[in-house]
Amino acid sequence: MTADGKVTTKNYSAVDFTSREDKAHLIRQRALGDAVLVGHGTIENDNVRLGIPREDLRQERMARGQPPYPIRVIVSNKGRINPKLNIFETDFGPITIFSTTRMPRHTRQQLRKKATLYLSQARRVDLRWMLQELRYDFKVKHVACEGGPALFRSLLEQGLVDQLNLTVAPFLFGGKNAPTLIGTGMDFLPRSVRCSLQDMKVVGDECFLTYRIRHSSSRAKSRMLAQSLR
Ligand SMILES: NC(=O)c1ccc[n+]([C@@H]2O[C@H](COP(=O)([O-])OP(=O)(O)OC[C@H]3O[C@@H](n4cnc5c(N)ncnc54)[C@H](OP(=O)(O)O)[C@@H]3O)[C@@H](O)[C@H]2O)c1
């Protein structure tokens, strides 16, 4: 994000405002995941393939017992996903789409040739259910979410984020309609999220921060209970 907290401009254009070091950092974080997760807005705007371009990172994954590429996961409530996006032109790792039965029939037919679809009857995708499905069907334990802001806010609201990797880039964009890290919503989060700083590194004019998200004790207890029930 910029020094004033923006992750893009008000047009949601695919702005490129971080350094090569930051892009390498993103790929290293992606390479740690069993799955890489993005919202529909991000895949539509940025048209990313979500690959691991570096051979050494793929080798490290295999040494850890992971497949060379993480599972690529897209979330959309409405399901109006363009089957011509770049991600669907690649076959290096499985693609799964979590959406709802609002997805148009012809879109389903086209996407089924390229991805595994999970369509729920609800109007919105239940993110907790999505993570459970990924765990049970693909043994996913570590998800690297690359945004965007709307999806990140939903994950935060539900207490589903453990770590935040934040790069502060040396720009100021301004503009109340340009989304911050957690979008454009005027509402407060249901409760403020407390973080603890784990790491900070400065490279050139950028600052790389790693935060652990502190979960409230009741939430931590329910997470522990959920784990012990597995
Ligand atoms: N600077 C950065 O690091 C960074 C990172 C990522 C993205 N971005 C920028 O952010 C912009 C996109 O922002 P955005 O807020 O539109 O992105 P987004 O969070 O990727 O996408 C929002 C869409 O994802 C789906 N979605 C969100 N929450 C959901 C939930 N709980 N359940 C199911 N689906 C959910 C919905 O899709 P449907 O509308 O299809 O229902 C929603 O409209 C782009 O300009 C991109 O460049 C910047």
The tens place of each residue's pLDDT in the chain, 230 residues long, gives 999 999 998 888 777 899 999 999 999 999 999 999 999 999 999 999 999 999 999 999 999 999 999 999 999 999 999 999 999 999 999 999 999 999 999 999 999 999 999 999 999 999 999 999 999 999 999 999 999 999 999 999 999 999 999 999 999 999 989 999 999 877 888 889 999 999 999 999 999 999 999 987 655 544 544 444 44
Alpha carbon of 19 to ligand 1 centroid (Å):
22
Cα dihedral angle (159, 33, 116, 48), rounded to 10 degrees? 100
* pLDDT for residue 156: 95
> Tokens in use for 165?
């990797």
Alpha carbon of 62 to ligand 1 centroid (Å):
30
Pocket test for ligand 1, best of 8, 101, 165 (most atoms within 8 A of CB): 8
Ligand 1 cavity residues, CB under 6 Å: 7-8, 12, 14, 38-42, 45-46, 75-78, 80, 124-125, 127, 146-151, 154, 179, 183
* pLDDT for residue 186: 76
* pLDDT for residue 10: 87
Q: Which amino acid is at 123?
A: R
Alpha carbon of 39 to ligand 1 centroid (Å):
4
Nearest to residue 155, comparing CAs of 18, 5, 16, 38?
38
Alpha carbon of 59 to ligand 1 centroid (Å):
31
Helices (H), the chain: 20-32, 40-46, 55-63, 105-112, 127-138, 149-157, 217-229
> Tokens in use for 197?
């700083």
Distance CA 89, CA 147 (A): 21
Q: Determine which residue's CA is closest to atom 29 belonging to ligand 1.
A: 151
Q: Determine which residue's CA is closest to atom 3 belonging to ligand 1.
A: 7
CB-based contact 58:69 (threshold 8 Å): yes
The helix, strand and coil proportions of the chain, stated in percent and rounded to the nearest 5, come to: 35, 25, 45
* pLDDT for residue 224: 45
164 contact partners, CB below 8 Å, separation of at least 6: 195, 209, 210, 211, 213
CB-based contact 205:170 (threshold 8 Å): yes
CB-based contact 117:97 (threshold 8 Å): yes
Closest ligand 1 atom, CA of 184? 15
Domain covering 20-229, topology: Dihydrofolate Reductase, subunit A (3.40.430)
pLDDT tens track for 151-195: 999 999 999 999 999 999 999 999 989 999 999 877 888 889 999
> Tokens in use for 30?
């992606």
Nearest to residue 128, comparing CAs of 147, 154, 103?
154
Nearest to residue 49, comparing CAs of 96, 89, 80, 81?
89
State whether residue 59 is helix, strand or coil: helix
* pLDDT for residue 218: 53
Where do the structural domains in the chain lie, given as residue ranges? Answer: 20-229
